[in-house]
Amino acid sequence: MIAAKKIDIRNITFDELQQYLLGKGELAFRAKQVSNWLWNKSARSFDEMNNLSKSLREKLKDNFNIHPATLDQSQYSADKTIKNTFRLYDGNIIEGVLIPADERMTACVSSQVGCSLTCKFCATGYMDRKRNLDPGEIYDQVVLIDQQSRERYGQPLSNIVYMGMGEPLLNYANVIQSIDYITSEQGLNMAAKRITVSTAGIAKMIKKLGDDKVKFNLALSLHAANDQKRNEIMPINEQNSLKALSEALKYYFAKTKNPVTYEYIIFNDFNDQLQDAAELARFCKHIPCKVNIIEYNPISFASFENAREDKTEAFASYLLKQGIRTNIRRSRGKDIDAACGQLAIKEN
């Protein structure tokens, strides 16, 4: 049933839209036309839907809104990364990043306004979580960053990472719905394998990803393969221990056959020793995986430092000798606070 109060039309299902239109005396195919405008053409108002009759557009206006995210501000890094501030219909602000490279154009998108997980090294973790993003608000980030990529660099987006503000698995339904629209032929028609969802590690939701047999990639922000250390920097580990995560990941892999990426920010004199590498290597034996060693990006709230180059190289070398696919990821957009862990809305 459609509520009497106006809601964002993008928050109802196709079946609900079709039932609404049939109830208004419209033909069933009109639902496909409206859906095409919303998700394929990214319409931001009902007036844009010029193959619908004026009377139908008025009916839609009387019963629904469209609440698009709008590009508020962009900052440009020396390395060509672009950090974007998006304004939502209720005045809330989120951030998303365009990361250009020779072989790919990647959008890093947010899934929540703020975050509730309080990871000690992440600027977003020092914000309050205000609310989840709707599927359309996530989708809009992708559309706007794709437009930016085409206009600025002459290339469309090739990849999407859910690594911006918020914990995607705490907004599970809306994140999954946004990916369905992004990958749908009626939407952006992007291959699921070009999408990565990154989680701080919520065991029961990782299992749900397995039950849902998702096709996109999963990344786990690990950062320590030792419960004591992980508890210290990631309070979520107290309820989602490494043992619980390993069991969830085994279940996920059994259901999907998708290997997992472990993200490992390497901190000076905290998790950069060969003992830490050995613990990580043991954790990597659970399922097929690869490791991305990530340079730490400083934030004003925390006193962590990036590991020395020689320590980072030795750490990666150890993992490689253990037969583990390992990459060292260099920061992008650090000069504009657009790098991993730096996204946060500064209060006026």
Active site residues per annotation: 95, 340
Rounded-to-integer distance, Cα 95 and Cα 144, Å? 12
Rounded-to-integer distance, Cα 167 and Cα 236, Å? 11
Amino acid at 73: Q
Closest CA relative to residue 30, chosen from 51, 47, 46, 11: 51
- Judge whether 160 and 105 are in contact, CB under 8 Å: no
Tell me phi and psi for residue 178, to 5 degrees: -65, -40
Give, in degrees to the nearest 5, the angle at Cα 149 between 146 and 153.
Answer: 160
Token pair in block for residue 156: 């469309």
Query: What per-residue string of b and e applies to 227-254 under the rule 16 or more CB within 10 Å gives b?
Result: eebbeebbbbbeebebebbbebbebbbe
Query: What per-residue string of b and e applies to 147-158 under the rule 16 or more CB within 10 Å gives b?
Result: ebbeeeeeeebb
Rounded-to-integer distance, Cα 338 and Cα 85, Å? 11
DSSP 5: S
Token pair 């990426």 is found at: 261
Q: Beta strand pairing status for 112-113 and 131-132?
A: antiparallel
DSSP 195-250: EEEEES--HHHHHHHHHTT--SEEEEE-S-SSHHHHHHH-GGGGTS-HHHHHHHHH
